[in-house]
Amino acid sequence: MGTIKVKDGTEIFYKDWGTGQPLFFHHGWPLSADDWDSQMMFFLHHGYRVIAHDRRGHGRSTQTANGHDMDTYAADVAELVEFLDLKDSIHIGHSTGGGEVTRFVAKHGKGRVAKAVLISAIPPLFMKTEKNPDGVPKEVVDGLRDGTAYHRAQFYQDITIPFYGFNRPGANVSEGIRQNWWRQEMMGAATAHYDCIKVLSETEFYDDLAAIDVPVLVMHGEDDQICPFPTTGARSWKLLKHGSLKSYPGLPHGMPATHADIINADLLKFIQS
């Protein structure tokens, strides 16, 4: 584990375990690298080098009020990738992290990235607009802003229920998963989390998806209550030159935690293919 100081002075925290082909994991809003522990341990034991970072303002990285836009998020990753000299790497992103992967691979990945994976991800566009009439309504996005800005401790507990599908009949509710989500969120800066909502909801990825030349696997739960499957994952893979889709009936947004055994096995198949 370590930190790197990027061009504007922000310190980015990262984990770097093992040797072998590098797998770089990108976390969702408003989480941290710790959200990938189940995947990092699995792939570490399968002989891979596993890396994950805390996005600026999140987790253990600098609680800066600056640079909360997708271009800067991707540029931070590019600096870390260059610093670690990662080659033939596979970038895996969940939710907002999937947007970060998309922008990074499109803008900075040439010659360094072998494949990419978008899990429950925000591309091509999250919020409802004229261009995206089936997107998430602005009033829902405004609810995220209000909860984050003014009562995030309780809001961050409440949102874990739909995030992991724990409001569905017969769901196996894990208090450990819920508490770990809350722990990660409260580590970061409220202002960074607030600004990131604009980034995740309004950033368009149509051109980025079309520009990517490497194989990309899109993995999405069909019961995703955060990034609805029909308007995000189901559309993203069609815009990719070398895209494939793996959808999961009944699985939630946070399926890498609730169904890690399924997700890890399918990730391994794609990585080894």
Do residues 169 and 176 make contact, with C-beta atoms less than 8 angstroms apart?
no
- Judge whether 95 counts as a catalytic residue: yes
Residues 6+ apart with CB under 8 A from 83: 4
Fill in the DSSP letter of residue 239.
G
Catalytic residue among 27, 58, 68, 253: 253
Catalytic residue among 95, 120, 201, 236: 95
- Judge whether 201 counts as a catalytic residue: no
Catalytic residue among 32, 35, 224, 259: 224
Question: Given CA atoms 268, 27, 51, 114 in this order, what sign does their dihedral have?
Answer: positive
- Judge whether 32 counts as a catalytic residue: no
SS (H, E, C) 9-57: CCEEEEEEECCCCEEEEECCCCCCHHHHHHHHHHHHCCCCEEEEECCCC
Which sequence positions are flagged as catalytic? 95, 224, 253
